[in-house]
Amino acid sequence: MHTDLPHESGTFWSRLRDAARFWEPWRAAYNLALGAVVLAWLLATWPHFRPALTLPSLLLLLVLAVLANVCYCAAYPAELLLRISPGRVAWRRFRWRLWLGGTLLAILLACYWIADEMYPAV
Tens-place pLDDT, residues 84-110? 888 888 888 889 999 999 999 999 999
* Domain interval for residue 68: 6-118
CA 56 to CA 53: how far, in whole Å? 8
pLDDT for 114? 86
Q: 84, 11 in Cβ contact below 8 A?
A: no
Q: Quick check: is 83 in a domain?
A: yes
Predicted pLDDT of residue 30: 97
Instruction: Report the number of distinct structural domains present in the chain.
Output: 1
Note whether residue 103 is domain-resident: yes
The conformation of residue 120, written as its DSSP 8-state character, comes to T
CA–CA dist 88, 24 (Å, integer): 20
pTM equals 0.81
